[in-house]
Amino acid sequence: MRDNECTKIVGTNVILVPYRKKHVERYHEWMKSEELRYFTGSEILTLAEEYQMQKRWHQDQDKCTFIILDKSIFTETENEIEAMVGDTNLFFNEPDQPNTAEVEIMIADVTFRRRKRGWEAIILMLLYGVNKLNVTKYIAKIKFDNEKSINMFEKLKFQKVQKSQVFQEYTFEKVINKNWIDWLYSEATINITTYEEHDKEREKEKENNPAHNL
Ligand SMILES: CC(C)(COP(=O)(O)OP(=O)(O)OC[C@H]1O[C@@H](n2cnc3c(N)ncnc32)[C@H](O)[C@@H]1OP(=O)(O)O)[C@@H](O)C(=O)NCCC(=O)NCCS
């Protein structure tokens, strides 16, 4: 989504950055995990397909994708690839409900699970969606046997509204209201800022291709 391509969201222990080409290789390694593909409803892709998917997600207006970085690793190394721990997405799938978004999250690096990275990252994403993308309702689709995620979304005050035997998943939803937004703010510190790396890369592109300056 072009709306978030220059956006960086900084929290206490995580930083969200737009999903870029340079992240694809590590992302592809993660998605070799059958567990991750099952819980996120993803298909196995070749590396070339993964690059195409990243490009499409970047261009499509109905998808907002961030990579989750561990803040302490990034502060120490300034290397986004080393600091990558997962991703979080919003999908605007319902043409007749443009303010409804499906939210997804994964902490792909298992050594970072159960350390509140998922909790903080999803709260930052939920607040970003409400504040910058005018979301008024969230939904989440969760496999029947994904106890961790069910616990997390129930703790986020989502409610189970549907059950699909075909997909073996529940649909949870949360209609946004002021009390809930205030509560999200009480759970996280959020700083929405500019993704400077993007600016540097654009500068480089311009230097390499002066026609951009015209
Ligand atoms: C679900 C997931 C994102 C949770 O991220 P995480 O960083 O490990 O979780 P957190 O430490 O932030 O915990 C947040 C809440 O999630 C729930 N939770 C997380 N891990 C859990 C576990 N092992 N058992 C039970 N509940 C768990 C709890 O409610 C927890 O709150 P608490 O610590 O106060 O009990 C992570 O397990 C994951 O990426 N799983 C694979 C992909 C996936 O299932 N994505 C969701 C698709 S719908």
Distance 104 CA to ligand 1 centre (A): 12
**pLDDT band, very low/low/confident/very high, at 67 (cuts 50, 70, 90):** very high
Give the whole-angstrom CA distance, residue 100 versus residue 93.
8
**Residue located nearest, by CA, to atom 23 of ligand 1:** 148
Record the tokens describing residue 110, joined without a space: 């298992």
Evaluate if pTM is beyond 0.95: no
Distance from residue 127's CA to the centre of ligand 1 (Å): 19
Please report the atom of ligand 1 found closest to the CA of residue 39: 44
At 93, list the tokens: 């799938």
3, 132 in Cβ contact below 8 A?
A: yes
Taking the C-alpha atoms of residue 21 and residue 201, their distance in angstroms, rounded to an integer, is 12
Contacts of 12 (CB under 8 A, 6+ apart): 71, 120, 188, 189
pLDDT band of residue 199 (cuts 50, 70, 90) is: low
**Ligand 1 atom with minimal separation from the 119 CA:** 12
List pLDDT tens digits, range 175-187.
999 999 999 999 9
Q: Is the CB of 149 under 6 A from ligand 1?
A: yes
Answer whether 21 contacts ligand 1 (Cβ < 6 A).
no
List, in order of start, the domains of the chain with CATH numbers: 2-192 (3.40.630.30)
What's the gap in Å between 130 CA and the centre of ligand 1?
A: 22
Going by pLDDT thresholds of 50, 70 and 90, the confidence category of residue 3 is: confident
Decide which of 140 and 2 is more confident.
140
Task: Write down the pLDDT at residue 5.
Answer: 82
Which residue in the block uniquely carries the two structure tokens 């929405």? Answer: 192
Look at residue 203 and tell me whether its pLDDT is greater than 70: no
Q: Whose C-alpha lies nearest to ligand 1, atom 27?
A: 148
User: CA-to-CA distance for 18 and 4, rounded, in angstroms?
Assistant: 7
Whole-number Å distance, alpha carbon 61 to ligand 1 midpoint, is 28
Give the model's pLDDT for residue 164.
97
